[in-house]
Amino acid sequence: MPGALKQNDELEESGESSEELYERMNITVDKGQEPFRLDKFLAGRMENASRNKIQQAIEAGRILVNNKIVQANYKIRPSDNIIIYSEKQVHGEEIIPEKIPLNIVYEDDDVMIINKPAGLVVHPASGNYTGTLINGVAYYLQQKNAAINEETLPRFGLVHRIDKNTSGLMVLAKTEKAVASLAKQFFDHTVKRQYMAVVWGDIAEETGTIIAHVGRHKRFRKLFDAYPEGDYGKEAITHYKVLERFGYVTLVQCILETGRTHQIRVHMKYIGHPLFSDETYGGDKIVKGTVFSKYKQFVENCFEICPRQALHAKTIGFIHPTTKKEMLFESELPDDMKKLIEKWRGYITSD
């Protein structure tokens, strides 16, 4: 089922979570398998999956056979490859609709594009049960359709998230089929995601690719770390390009090939360039530059201008679930990052 308007108990207390919320399961039918209805076959193979839920997932297009959409009564054959896209979420209480301002960039019957401000948690979790983006979406949907109440509130699909203190564009699915299409695109790494970030230090190369698994820190469980040997965590790939240099910090473009929890923040720290003002990964102190009074005061002023990791989800692109046309959306940098960049630009000009 798609990411419903329900509480996710597995999210971090900060309200931050992994970007991609669906995972893929592969089943290859045994060579000696007799013909059997697909829904019955899967009901016997998957734990905690009722036949009714499996039928709904098949109808939504989240279960494919040999990479094609089929019906629940499809008779499986030996060596068939079955792909199942399932959500990672654990649901709890229903979400309470709340009147929260939303910057909706685009909306149709299938998808909604929202430009999320920094400081707004995406989904309720421990410590953040209310006041989230999804609480606001629930209220928005009710206002559009007066017949909707808390019991009949439409299911609303989250297929990815961005961190609480990261700003920028998110896509949300409004139908089961849109969830299935977007989940597959995220998993296949075909969704275009471009971020802009201010990082500490003068990056040597103009462009580069960071390849290092990302997983929970082995000592501090609320943090994540890079594991370049690939022996822990999940595969993570970030491409970066230098846009502007300010001596002590650099403005970079980051393109995600994968979407792991805190991926850009962890990867940039791994190569020695933590995000500016990122208190979680060491960017909230002077990392580069001599600590003398004038410079120290300047940096502290910059922290006040942008008191969160300087990271913005600028671009998102995907194939529309229904029209099959390519959709591409871009957003401007928020004021705090604009002012931060201008301040650094002025600082190196005055030296």
Domain boundary among 86, 106, 136: 86
Domain boundary among 168, 187, 206: 187
Do residues 168 and 310 both lie within one domain? no
Q: How far apart are CA 14 and CA 222, in angstroms?
A: 9
Q: What backbone phi and psi angles, to 5 degrees, belong to 257?
A: -95, -30
1 falls within a domain: no
Q: What's 27's domain CATH number?
A: 3.10.290.10
338 falls within a domain: yes
201 falls within a domain: yes
Burial class (CB in 10 A: 0-12, 13-18, 19+), 96: middle
Do residues 233 and 304 both lie within one domain? yes
Do residues 16 and 164 both lie within one domain? yes
Continuous H helices in 4-128: 38-45, 51-60
CB 121 within 8 Å of CB 68: no
Domain count, the chain: 3
CB 284 within 8 Å of CB 259: no
Q: How far apart are CA 155 and CA 174, in angstroms?
A: 7
Residue 236 is predicted with a pLDDT of: 93
37 falls within a domain: yes
Do residues 15 and 159 both lie within one domain? yes
Q: What backbone phi and psi angles, to 5 degrees, belong to 28?
A: -105, 125
CB 224 within 8 Å of CB 213: no
Do residues 15 and 135 both lie within one domain? yes
- Catalytic residue, from 39, 80, 110, 163: name it: 163
Burial class (CB in 10 A: 0-12, 13-18, 19+), 189: middle
40 falls within a domain: yes
105 falls within a domain: yes
Comparing C-alpha atoms, which of 118, 156, 150 is closest to residue 137? 156
Do residues 14 and 149 both lie within one domain? yes
Domain boundary among 86, 110, 136: 86
Q: How far apart are CA 178 and CA 158, in angstroms?
A: 10
> At how many degrees (to 10) do helices 335-350 and 293-305 cross?
160
336 falls within a domain: yes
Do residues 131 and 215 both lie within one domain? no
Q: How far apart are CA 22 and CA 158, in angstroms?
A: 9
Residue 315 is predicted with a pLDDT of: 97
Do residues 119 and 202 both lie within one domain? no
pTM for this structure? 0.81
- Note if 163 is an active site residue: yes
Q: What's 343's domain CATH number?
A: 3.30.2350.10
Half-sphere exposure in the Cβ direction for 288 (13 Å, CA):
17
pLDDT tens, N- to C-terminus, the chain (351 residues)? 333 333 333 333 333 344 566 667 788 888 878 888 888 888 877 777 778 878 878 887 778 888 888 888 888 888 888 888 776 553 445 678 899 999 999 999 999 999 999 999 888 776 667 888 988 988 898 888 776 655 555 455 788 889 999 999 999 988 888 888 898 898 888 999 999 999 999 999 999 999 999 998 888 878 999 999 988 888 999 999 999 999 999 999 999 998 888 999 999 999 999 999 999 999 999 999 887 889 999 999 999 999 999 999 999 999 999 999 999 999 999 999 999 999 999 998 876
281 falls within a domain: yes
Do residues 67 and 143 both lie within one domain? no
Sign of CA dihedral 85, 82, 63, 44: negative
Q: What is the DSSP letter of 236?
A: -
Cα separation values, 121 from 100, 131, 275, Å: 12, 8, 20
Q: How far apart are CA 271 and CA 286, in angstroms?
A: 17
Q: What backbone phi and psi angles, to 5 degrees, belong to 199?
A: -120, 155
Tokens (6 digits) for 313: 């989800």
Do residues 177 and 47 both lie within one domain? no
**Domain carrying residue 246:** 192-350
CA angle 86, 92, 94 (to 5 degrees): 105
Do residues 211 and 281 both lie within one domain? yes
Do residues 103 and 240 both lie within one domain? no
